[in-house]
Amino acid sequence: MIREMTDQCQRTLVLSSIPQRIVSLVPSQTELLHTLGLDERVVGITRFCTHPDVWYRSKTRVGGTKDFDLEKIRSLNP
């Protein structure tokens, strides 16, 4: 399945499959991913992603929303 979409910066994205490993860099999106039940797919969050608390305690933190650690993100193989 190839899915094409346009992001908020007007870039065209082409996904050949549904994302399996997600790193969330925005706290509100982290909460949304949790609400959608994507616990197993989310492998990394920022230090500002404090909700849900169980994710804050268990998920790998990759830095802040503006100063994230790109090498740590790469190591998670998102």
Where are the domains positioned within the chain? 20-75
Stated pTM of the model: 0.82
23 burial level (CB within 10 Å; 0-12, 13-18, 19+): buried
Q: What pLDDT, in 10s, does the model give residues 45-59?
A: 999 999 999 999 999
Strand segments, DSSP code E, in the chain are 3-6, 12-15, 22-23, 42-45, 60-61
Q: Which CATH superfamily is domain 20-75 in?
A: Nitrogenase molybdenum iron protein domain (3.40.50.1980)
pLDDT digits (tens, 9 = 90+) for 57-69: 999 999 999 999 9
